[in-house]
């Protein structure tokens, strides 16, 4: 099951699961995007089930999970991905807007996780993938509601993971922390900045995130997966020198999140941009010209044991050569 499957990362992840021959339940609000996503899943070799749902409605999410179980028999993987956001200074975000972002982006993950556990715990198996962001650890200007929600997901997921480990449950939960991505969200978020919203560079294609999500679903013993060199650099810098990073982001990230031109897209905060009177936005945004298709950091992360062994072997060989040199240079007595 993939929430937010009608566009962006969710859409790309649905295709990636379908390429394995999986049966994929597509959850979202947007009618046009869901129909197109279902067609892509089927063409990729999977089986699609479309379920229209607003993830901020706990009962609707429970009903959606039951509908999927009735159709497919069980739920092996649940991917929480749906979100919404507002690009604006905190003082320009209304209380109802802040609440709405929190209900979708944070409580949507909580409700999805509860629905997944209701079906996974009795079977003592299943994986829940929480799609996070570097912003789950590091807040940035102009996205206070979204950053707050992602931080909340991080804390909630850690608590749940500890409980599952304590119970020696066969159900796993893991989190995927993503970088800036070329998705349609920047044309459908509520935007009160001077310019058009854009992801902070470097920008990655949503397929990079989709591959990480599919990988995480099969490697859920690992508590967290970082995607992209920018994510790794941000999280490391935040752990080492958060105060310095505050000042750097204050100086650079207001301009880095916008570009020239007015914001013209529909805001999907209250209604889906790809709903009854909208159109299908697909997985990609308008940044194809600059977005990269691969992440060397992701390859290193997946192969970290092999890399560690190689580094250890290399260090050992270097030490042996140095020792041999010292022995050769040692004078005879």
Residues 6+ positions from 222 with CB-CB distance below 8 Å? 174, 216
Q: Distance between CA atoms of 235 and 138, rounded to whole angstroms?
A: 7
**Closest by CA position to 297, among listed 177, 124, 184:** 177
| Cα diameter, the chain | 92
3-state secondary structure of 23: strand
The H or E element containing residue 77 is strand 77-80
Among the options 146, 204, 215, 248, which is catalytic? Answer: 146
Distances (CA, A) of 229 to 279, 289, 296, 301: 33, 19, 8, 10
Q: Distance between CA atoms of 148 and 155, rounded to whole angstroms?
A: 11
Q: Distance between CA atoms of 144 and 232, rounded to whole angstroms?
A: 21
Indicate if 248 belongs to the active site.
Answer: no
| Radius of gyration of the CA atoms of the chain, in A | 22
**What DSSP line would sit under 176-192, residue for residue?**
EEE--B--THHHHSEE-
Q: How many CB atoms lie within 10 A of CB 320?
A: 10
Answer yes or no: are the C-beta atoms of 132 and 175 closer than 8 Å. yes
The H or E element containing residue 24 is strand 23-28
Catalytic residues: 146
């Amino acid at each position: 099951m993939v929430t937010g499957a009608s566009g962006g990362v969710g859409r790309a992840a649905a295709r990636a699961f379908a390429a394995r021959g999986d049966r994929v339940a597509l959850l979202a609000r947007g009618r046009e995007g869901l129909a197109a996503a279902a067609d892509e899943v089927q063409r990729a070799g999977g089986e699609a089930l479309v379920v229209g749902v607003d993830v901020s409605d706990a009962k609707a999410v429970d009903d959606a999970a039951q509908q999927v179980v009735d159709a497919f028999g069980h739920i092996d993987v649940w991917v929480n991905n749906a979100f919404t956001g507002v690009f604006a200074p905190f003082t320009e975000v209304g209380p109802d807007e802040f609440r709405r972002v929190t209900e979708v982006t944070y409580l949507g993950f909580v409700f999805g996780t509860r629905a997944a556990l209701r079906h996974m715990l009795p079977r003592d198996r299943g994986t829940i993938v929480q799609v996070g962001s570097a912003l789950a650890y590091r807040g940035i200007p102009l996205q206070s509601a979204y950053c707050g929600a992602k931080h909340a997901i991080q804390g909630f997921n850690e608590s749940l993971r500890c409980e599952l480990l304590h119970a020696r449950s066969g159900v796993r939960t893991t989190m995927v922390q993503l970088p800036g991505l070329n998705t349609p969200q920047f044309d459908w978020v509520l935007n009160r900045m001077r310019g058009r919203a854009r992801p902070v560079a470097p920008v990655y294609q949503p397929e990079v995130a989709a591959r990480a999500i599919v990988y995480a679903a099969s490697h859920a013993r690992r508590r967290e997966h970082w995607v992209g060199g920018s994510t790794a650099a941000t999280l490391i810098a935040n752990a080492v020198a958060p105060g310095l990073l505050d000042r750097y982001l204050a100086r650079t990230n207001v301009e880095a999140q916008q570009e020239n031109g007015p914001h013209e897209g529909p805001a999907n905060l209250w209604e889906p941009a790809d709903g009854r009177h909208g159109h299908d936005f697909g997985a990609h945004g308008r940044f194809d010209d600059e977005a990269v298709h691969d992440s060397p950091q992701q390859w290193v992360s997946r192969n970290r044991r092999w890399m560690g062994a190689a580094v250890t072997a290399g260090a050992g060989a270097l030490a042996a050569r140095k020792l041999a040199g010292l022995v050769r240079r040692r004078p005879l007595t």
